[in-house]
Amino acid sequence: MTGSLAPLRSAEIIAVGSELLGSTRIDTNSLFLADALASLGIALRAKAVVGDRRGDLATMFRLALERADLVILTGGLGPTDDDLTRDVVSEVLGLPLAEDPAIVADIEARFAKRGMRMPAINRRQAMVPHGATVLENPNGSAPGLLMNVGDRVVVLLPGPPREMKPMFERVATFVLSRRARRERFYRATILVAGRSESHVDEAIQPIYAPLATAVPPIETTILATPGQIEVHLTALSDDPEIARRALASARDRIAAAIGDDAFSLDGRSMEDIVGGLLLGAGSTIAVAESCSGGLLLSRLTDVPGSSAYVRGGVVAYSNDVKTAFADVPADLIAAHGAVSEPVATAMAEGIRARMGATIGVGVTGIAGPGGATPTKPVGTVAIAVAGPAGTTVRTVRFNGSRAQIKHYASQSALDMVRRTVARNAAVRRD
Amino acid sequence: MTGSLAPLRSAEIIAVGSELLGSTRIDTNSLFLADALASLGIALRAKAVVGDRRGDLATMFRLALERADLVILTGGLGPTDDDLTRDVVSEVLGLPLAEDPAIVADIEARFAKRGMRMPAINRRQAMVPHGATVLENPNGSAPGLLMNVGDRVVVLLPGPPREMKPMFERVATFVLSRRARRERFYRATILVAGRSESHVDEAIQPIYAPLATAVPPIETTILATPGQIEVHLTALSDDPEIARRALASARDRIAAAIGDDAFSLDGRSMEDIVGGLLLGAGSTIAVAESCSGGLLLSRLTDVPGSSAYVRGGVVAYSNDVKTAFADVPADLIAAHGAVSEPVATAMAEGIRARMGATIGVGVTGIAGPGGATPTKPVGTVAIAVAGPAGTTVRTVRFNGSRAQIKHYASQSALDMVRRTVARNAAVRRD
């Protein structure tokens, strides 16, 4: 039956709810949906957020329906007066609403389970446009709805991510995949540290430019995100094998042109990559950090299984803690200042010895806004990495807010650890 | 001149750029703009993201122009072919583009400063629709543009937040504020820890319900965010004094109904509030954390000036580090397990003594996904806070991902510190 219908190529998303128009909440559902749609070969054409106004929602819905093969509306399916999505969609499509007794029974059962009677207003959630398919919601009271409008598809999903995501996954698997075109989007990502966006672009432009017109065509996007540059490659193809091979080849050529600065070829984060290297080398790590204030340790321990290689660490905000917990000589601090390469080195070597780790890291700097001196402005950070083959130390100057400086310091430290562990592994292989 | 024009009451935002339709990037500019617009009494009516497609942008821009008094477009002002915003706006408004020699000179000077010649394509950024006001961009090469269209206003801003924000702030101060209506939106926020959303709602519903129809009317929104519940109050009024007084009174009545669980009445974060309490009490803090992995210390040190009260801490992932750095007896760990109240207590008391701090905190738990035991599932966390008046300890069970459990553990620990310091202060006052 669906075989005769045209494949779904484009989608628009409309998020409904006045709360999404304030300054405190953002629609993240659309990120999940964009990804899920790409794997069905459906391109997201536009997305919009509208408040709880009948007219605005109707206009936006009509517009989306004119342009896209698939229109997804999220939110506005609750039981109260300002939940308008069902009403507006049924009105625009000319499909009258009728109460579905099975949904009423479901919602009544949900309430009964908590020993409560269903409030009368929840009956609204049982109203179904004529001919619509009801999508079960195991995580909430609002069922979803799916309608075929000619060869277009309209899907109504609840707003809360934990209700929306599993519901959409089922719709994707059981309904949309049958209407997908043979071409799908495939992706590869390269993450880069230690180079600016324009330097990355310069190095790889000769590689990616011709890819745009190759078969299959590969599109390249370069994004600067805090502490790293991301290179995203997207291929559209009807053959998964061909797409994956083309992407892998493009990714490897780009990575080779970037060299050591390309730290992740599979989308894994810096802390994940560092963890993998440490685990692979049978190494452990210990950290003494000052200005990064625990963020470096927190990122290291964000990785599942990190207890296998993170020995632990010290956040040494005051000088006597640096001395007592990481064996930094007090006269060294007096001679060079707490923010200095000798102190960073002593922190790295001290914590390495004290915790008996393969790798020791020392980070000391000025996160700001206070604490600057004429020779050491806010953002000055000394980072040392001590390992079996000796200690590397460098001083970097970061710009930005306190939070940004903390992040950049942790990223640079992780990157230095990465290079150290990779180098050690290479030496051992020789 | 502008005095005769109607005030600006509503706005729409259109973010332009195909990269904003993927799964890796989200438009956060609109959060900043929503807030800035509210303080001008301008309500955000809808927002949209469109890709680099001429037709889609034109349609969305026409639609916004029909409905809103102010239309803000962000992005698409770069020098390349897919930067369409200038072209589309000039076309829709029927305002021909002409090159502005002053902008060319500016961009040339920017490049010259870096010892480079301006690429020819950057001339595109100097094209200005007839009659438009050019908005200087000290942080980038793309100038902004402002146009009066009858009594409507159209503003084009660059996409990068660090270029967009200062530019919009100047537009708001020097142009939009003259067109603002006398009513502005005023806000108050109450942050709550240790209670569910529905329990907060239950406690304060009798207070906020009548406020919606009071003079001035106050709207209440309750949001559940990780580890806390946020109560947002919004008043629309033409008198700042009346609005602020009404909001303060509403906030105080709501806070009183919630009691100790209401931890912030001015929007400040938990770590900020805790820092203020420590500073006010002349107290210092030291932390020994295991499962939260440095996140608690990182949050404490996110607060500017925290070096005045954060002594430091230890991330003790392995048992021997707990013993060596926080004086936790090895036989205590053997007897009770690392995740236990006695060990959390020993960590808090040990680090407090070792670092000579007023308050010591111990956090030990299972962040997952591994590490669970039959009696201690993933998410089990023991937290102890040691102070001059003794030690409080509790065991909590959190649900969620590893990152969520780390966050909840740090939030609960901070909240326990808050209650301890507040209680100590109250005792001292008695």
- Tell me what ipTM this predicted complex has: 0.86
Q: Give per-residue pLDDT as tens, B203-254.
A: 999 999 999 999 999 999 888 788 899 999 999 999 999 999 999 999 999 9
Nearest beta carbon to residue A51 from set B25, B45, B294? B45
The amino acid at B176: L
| Contact: B297, A296; criterion CB under 8 Å | no
In angstroms, the separation between the Cα of residue B131 and the nearest Cα of chain A is: 30
Q: Give per-residue pLDDT as tens, B287-313.
A: 999 999 999 999 999 999 999 999 999
Residues of chain B with Cβ-Cβ distance to A304 below 8 Å are 368-370, 402
Q: Any long-range contacts for A134-139 (C-beta under 8 Å, 24+ apart)?
A: A134/A100, A134/A102, A134/A103, A135/A167, A135/A170, A135/A171, A136/A167, A137/A163, A137/A167, A138/A166, A139/A163, A139/A166
Q: Could you give the C-alpha distances from B37 to B41, B85, B175, in angstroms and in order?
A: 6, 22, 13
Which candidate, A167, A5, A154, places its Cα nearest to that of A65? A154
| Contact: A321, B312; criterion CB under 8 Å | yes
Q: Give per-residue pLDDT as tens, A371-380.
A: 898 899 999 9
In angstroms, the separation between the Cα of residue A258 and the nearest Cα of chain B is: 22
CB B227 within 8 A of CB B208: no
CB B224 within 8 A of CB B197: yes
Give the Cα separation of B367 and B399 in Å (integer).
10
Which candidate, A90, A17, A24, places its Cα nearest to that of A50? A17
**Mean per-residue pLDDT for A175-197?**
91
**Mean per-residue pLDDT for B157-167?**
93
The amino acid at B369: P
Question: In chain A, whose CA is at the least distance from the CA of B313?
Answer: A315
| Contact: A49, B45; criterion CB under 8 Å | no
Total beta-carbon pairs less than 8 A apart between chain A and chain B: 208
Residues of chain A with Cβ-Cβ distance to B321 below 8 Å are 311-312, 355
| Contact: B312, A325; criterion CB under 8 Å | yes
Per-residue confidence at A113, pLDDT binned at 50, 70, 90? confident
Nearest beta carbon to residue A321 from set B292, B311, B367? B311
Domains of chain B: 2-179 (3.40.980.10), 184-264 (3.30.70.1120), 270-429 (3.90.950.20)
Tell me, what DSSP letter sits at residue B3?
Answer: G
pLDDT given at position B2? 45
State percent of chain B over pLDDT 90: 76
CB A235 within 8 A of CB A218: yes
Checking if the pLDDT of B392 tops 70, the result is yes
pLDDT given at position B1? 43
Question: In chain B, whose CA is at the least distance from the CA of A286?
Answer: B315
The amino acid at B104: V
Per-residue confidence at B423, pLDDT binned at 50, 70, 90? confident
| Contact: B312, A311; criterion CB under 8 Å | no
Nearest beta carbon to residue A49 from set B46, B59, B313? B46
Tell me, what DSSP letter sits at residue B304?
Answer: T
pLDDT given at position A1? 43
| Contact: A325, B324; criterion CB under 8 Å | no
| Contact: A38, B23; criterion CB under 8 Å | yes
Checking if the pLDDT of A310 tops 90, the result is yes
| Contact: A26, B26; criterion CB under 8 Å | yes
Give the Cα separation of B395 and B404 in Å (integer).
17
- ∠ CA(A335), CA(A337), CA(A341), 5° rounding? 95
The amino acid at A51: G
Give residue B4's Cα distance to chain centre: 37
Q: Give per-residue pLDDT as tens, B108-122.
A: 988 888 788 888 888
Which residues make Cβ contacts (< 8 Å) with residue B133, sequence separation at least 6? B145, B146, B147, B175
**Mean per-residue pLDDT for B28-51?**
93
- Bridge partners, A183 (sequence order): none
Q: Give per-residue pLDDT as tens, B339-353.
A: 999 999 999 999 999
CA atoms within 13 A on the CB side of A92: 22
Give the Cα separation of A277 and A320 in Å (integer).
33
Of the spans A2-6, A201-205, B299-303, which averages the highest pLDDT? B299-303
| Contact: B315, A305; criterion CB under 8 Å | no
| Contact: B354, A324; criterion CB under 8 Å | yes
Question: In chain A, whose CA is at the least distance from the CA of B52?
Answer: A45
| Contact: B297, A318; criterion CB under 8 Å | no
The 10 Å Cβ neighbour count of residue B422 is 17
pLDDT given at position A226? 84
Q: Could you give the C-alpha distances from A165 to A106, A157, B28, in angstroms and in order?
A: 20, 9, 22
Residues of chain B with Cβ-Cβ distance to A402 below 8 Å are 302, 304
Give the Cα separation of A150 and A128 in Å (integer).
18
**Mean per-residue pLDDT for B178-183?**
90
Residues of chain B with Cβ-Cβ distance to A44 below 8 Å are 21-22
- Bridge partners, B187 (sequence order): B234
Per-residue confidence at A283, pLDDT binned at 50, 70, 90? very high
Give the Cα separation of B282 and B309 in Å (integer).
8
How is residue A185 written in tokens? 């989007």
Nearest beta carbon to residue B298 from set A23, A60, A294? A294
Judged by phi (left if over 0) then psi (alpha if -120 to 50, else beta), residue B316 lies in: beta
Q: What does pLDDT average to over chain A?
A: 93
| Contact: B45, A26; criterion CB under 8 Å | no
Question: In chain A, whose CA is at the least distance from the CA of B303?
Answer: A402
| Contact: A301, B294; criterion CB under 8 Å | yes
Question: In chain A, whose CA is at the least distance from the CA of B27?
Answer: A26
How is residue B382 written in tokens? 């023991």
Question: In chain B, whose CA is at the least distance from the CA of A33?
Answer: B23
Alpha helix locations (H) across B39-95?
54-67, 85-93
| Residues counted in chain A | 430
pLDDT given at position A357? 97
Which residues make Cβ contacts (< 8 Å) with residue B218, sequence separation at least 6? B208, B211, B212, B233, B234, B235, B246, B247, B250
CB A370 within 8 A of CB B304: yes
How is residue A91 written in tokens? 């009105």
Which candidate, A293, A275, A310, places its Cα nearest to that of A363? A293
- The terminus-to-terminus CA distance of chain B in angstroms comes to 62
Give the Cα separation of B325 and B311 in Å (integer).
14
pLDDT given at position B223? 80
The 10 Å Cβ neighbour count of residue B181 is 15
pLDDT given at position A80? 77
Per-residue confidence at B426, pLDDT binned at 50, 70, 90? confident
Per-residue confidence at B7, pLDDT binned at 50, 70, 90? very high
Residues of chain B with Cβ-Cβ distance to A403 below 8 Å are 302
Q: Give per-residue pLDDT as tens, A120-156.
A: 888 889 999 999 999 999 888 889 999 999 999 999 9
| Contact: B46, A24; criterion CB under 8 Å | no
State percent of chain A over pLDDT 70: 99
Nearest beta carbon to residue B223 from set A25, A302, A403? A25
3 state SS of A154: strand
Checking if the pLDDT of B5 tops 90, the result is no
In angstroms, the separation between the Cα of residue B102 and the nearest Cα of chain A is: 26
Judged by phi (left if over 0) then psi (alpha if -120 to 50, else beta), residue B278 lies in: alpha
Residues of chain A with Cβ-Cβ distance to B272 below 8 Å are none
In angstroms, the separation between the Cα of residue B367 and the nearest Cα of chain A is: 9
Residues of chain B with Cβ-Cβ distance to A301 below 8 Å are 293-295, 315, 317, 367, 406
Give the Cα separation of A182 and B306 in Å (integer).
57
Give the Cα separation of A164 and A10 in Å (integer).
20
DSSP string, B82-131: T--HHHHHHHHHT--EEE-HHHHHHHHHHHHHTT-PPPGGGGGGGEEETT
Judged by phi (left if over 0) then psi (alpha if -120 to 50, else beta), residue B282 lies in: left
Beta strand ranges found along A122-246 (DSSP E)? 127-129, 133-135, 144-149, 152-157, 184-192, 218-225, 228-237
Residues of chain A with Cβ-Cβ distance to B67 below 8 Å are 56, 59
pLDDT given at position B430? 62
Residues of chain A with Cβ-Cβ distance to B293 below 8 Å are 297-298, 300-302, 306, 310
Which candidate, A99, A64, A58, places its Cα nearest to that of A76? A58
pLDDT given at position A243? 95
CB B364 within 8 A of CB B339: yes
Give the Cα separation of B340 and B290 in Å (integer).
12
Q: Which helix (H) or strand (E) holds A200?
A: helix A197-211
Nearest beta carbon to residue B25 from set A25, A223, A317? A223
B152-157 and B228-237 beta bridge pairing: unpaired
Give the Cα separation of B85 and B91 in Å (integer).
10
Checking if the pLDDT of B39 tops 70, the result is yes
Is the peptide bond between A369 and the residue preceding it cis, with omega within 30 degrees of 0? yes
In angstroms, the separation between the Cα of residue B49 and the nearest Cα of chain A is: 5
Nearest beta carbon to residue B46 from set A31, A48, A317? A48
| Contact: A294, B305; criterion CB under 8 Å | no
Give the Cα separation of B220 and B210 in Å (integer).
11
Give the Cα separation of B241 and B225 in Å (integer).
31
- ∠ CA(B264), CA(B269), CA(B270), 5° rounding? 75
**Mean per-residue pLDDT for A58-80?**
94
Tell me, what DSSP letter sits at residue A267?
Answer: S
pLDDT given at position A275? 98
Beta strand ranges found along B158-294 (DSSP E)? 184-192, 218-225, 228-237, 262-264, 285-289
Question: In chain B, whose CA is at the least distance from the CA of A326?
Answer: B325
pLDDT given at position A209? 93
3 state SS of A191: strand
pLDDT given at position A430? 63
Residues of chain A with Cβ-Cβ distance to B302 below 8 Å are 293, 402-403, 406
| Contact: A316, B312; criterion CB under 8 Å | yes
In angstroms, the separation between the Cα of residue B297 and the nearest Cα of chain A is: 5
Tell me, what DSSP letter sits at residue A118?
Answer: P
Give the Cα separation of A179 and B312 in Å (integer).
58
Question: In chain A, whose CA is at the least distance from the CA of B290?
Answer: A312
The amino acid at B180: A
pLDDT given at position A2? 45
Question: In chain A, whose CA is at the least distance from the CA of B222?
Answer: A19
CB A206 within 8 A of CB A388: no
**Mean per-residue pLDDT for B312-325?**
94
- ∠ CA(A8), CA(A52), CA(B218), 5° rounding? 155
In angstroms, the separation between the Cα of residue B183 and the nearest Cα of chain A is: 17
B262-264 and B218-225 beta bridge pairing: unpaired
Question: In chain B, whose CA is at the least distance from the CA of A297?
Answer: B294
Checking if the pLDDT of B428 tops 80, the result is no
The 10 Å Cβ neighbour count of residue B313 is 34
| Contact: B315, A293; criterion CB under 8 Å | no
3 state SS of A159: coil
In angstroms, the separation between the Cα of residue A348 and the nearest Cα of chain B is: 15
Residues of chain A with Cβ-Cβ distance to B292 below 8 Å are 298
3 state SS of B242: helix
